Amino acid sequence: MNCTFCDFEVAENFNFCPSCSQPLKTRPTDEYLLIAFRSLAEGNLKAAAKQLSVIVKREPSHRIALKTLGNIYFHLGDLDRAIRTYKSVLELDPQYKDALYDLGVAYYYRGDLNDSAQFFRTLLRIDPQYKAALYRLGLACFHLGLLDEAITNLSRCVALAPKNIMARYHLAVAFFSKGDWHQAAREFKTITLKTPENSASHYQLGLAYKELGQMKKAVAAFKKALELEPENERVKRELGVLKK
């Protein structure tokens, strides 16, 4: 037989594993779960996955074990297994919000943007104020070229979480991509006020001002970006063009 903790092959008459010293007798499910979470806390994802697999084999409908196992597969980079595991959770509970979110994220990182957006939309029908899903759906829609839907969801995210700089940044980028220079400039300006050391936002603000024909403001924004990031060749080029 094999030890369920370290997978070491052990003779049938052994009571303890000679490799990891763990007892070989069957443990209660809760004890396996505690050991799995202890392994997670120690950063030992593979050991945690083994313990959770024992639980799932014993109790296929154990939602916590399944969901956590899906998270481990995701962090190990095994997106296909993560997706299959999250789907197993949702078969047990179709309205499990965190499983819907994690499934959407897994599809996003696998490059399946339409599937990703589908699960974020499903989640938001259940909980319209799930901020992380609003943000992720905004990103997925942006990359799908659905700029209006991206702007709608990112705007809702920013309204619910005004301090979320990344959501505001991507909202500004979506406005810029749509050609709404005024809104883009407004959002980038807000970011530069909240995070003045953010070189990228000063640069993007300069581009928005340039599109609006506000060249003095564009030059000032580019100069600030270059001050923060002196080796940025893109900023140097923009300044060079405007100074001619």
Beta bridge partner(s), residue 227: none
pLDDT at res. 127: 98
Is 181-244 in CATH node 1.25.40.10? Answer: yes
Q: Architecture of domain 94-178 in CATH?
A: Alpha Horseshoe (1.25)
pLDDT at 54: 86
Query: Is residue 1 very low, low, confident or very high in pLDDT (cuts 50, 70, 90)?
Result: low
Closest to 70 in 3D by CA, of 94, 43, 95, 45: 45
pLDDT in tens, 202-234: 999 999 999 999 999 999 999 999 999 999 999
Burial class (CB in 10 A: 0-12, 13-18, 19+), 97: middle
Question: Which pLDDT tens digit goes with each residue over 147-166?
Answer: 999 999 999 999 999 999 99
Check for a shared fold between 94-178 and 181-244: yes
User: What's the confidence (pLDDT) of residue 139?
Assistant: 98
pLDDT at res. 26: 56
Rounded average pLDDT over 102-121:
98
Residue 32's pLDDT band, with cuts at 50, 70 and 90, is: confident
Q: Is 98 left (phi over 0), alpha (psi -120 to 50) or beta?
A: alpha
The answer to whether 157 touches 131, Cβ cutoff 8 Å, is yes
pTM value? 0.84
Using the predicted structure, report yes or no on whether residue 27 has a pLDDT greater than 70: no
Q: Please determine, for residue 57, whether its predicted confidence score (pLDDT) is greater than 80.
A: yes
Q: Which fold has domain 1-92?
A: 1.25.40
Q: Phi and psi for 16 in degrees, rounded to 5? A: -130, 150
Q: Give SS3 for 52.
A: helix
Least Cα distance to 122 among 144, 147, 140, 142 occurs for 140
pLDDT of 11 above 90: no
**pLDDT of 8 higher than 80:** no
Q: Where are the domains of the chain?
A: 1-92, 94-178, 181-244
pLDDT in tens, 66-77: 999 999 999 999
Helix 113-126 / helix 131-143 crossing angle, nearest 10 deg: 150
pLDDT at res. 18: 77
